[in-house]
Homo-oligomer: A and B are copies of this chain.
């Protein structure tokens, strides 16, 4: 089988406290998959999987047990159908304990976007992009300019 070169199948977030992280994602409205195991939680997304894994375990798995892993320079965006959904998704995250970085506002590029950090500092952008329509399953295919 030859697979497309450009793909992400799994995004793993290293977390300091696995139960705290799971409470946040569950509180935001996500549901862990039954494939989850002690020490790792999996969430099915649109064709890929989000995983929560202990940060020290992740550093060890990366082959550098003593490394201190940082956050912030990766943002995970969840594009929404419209500004109302962006506001609702953002509010739900804040209610679940997210730290607000920037409340949703009109962006210079013509969309509507806000940022929050999860309890471990992982950054999510919640956005509406009127130029990039989403499929019904939440997937995004770039339009030709």
Contacts and interface: CB of A to CB of B under 8 A. Distances in A.
A66 to B, nearest CB: 12
A5 B30 CA distance: 7
Given A115-B61, A140-B10, A140-B49, A73 B120 contact: yes
Given A73-B58, A73-B69, A141-B47, A134 B9 contact: yes
Contacts of A82: 1
A55 B8 CA distance: 21
Interface string A60-79: 01111001111111111111
Contacts of A38: none
Interface residues of A, number: 76
A83 interface: no
Interface string A84-110: 010001000000000001100000000
Contact of A43 (B6, B10, B30, B48): B6
B62 A75 contact: yes
Contact of A47 (B62, B123, B137): B137
Interface of A: 1-14, 28-31, 33-35, 42-50, 55, 58-59, 61-64, 67-82, 85, 89, 101-102, 113, 115, 120-123, 125, 134-145
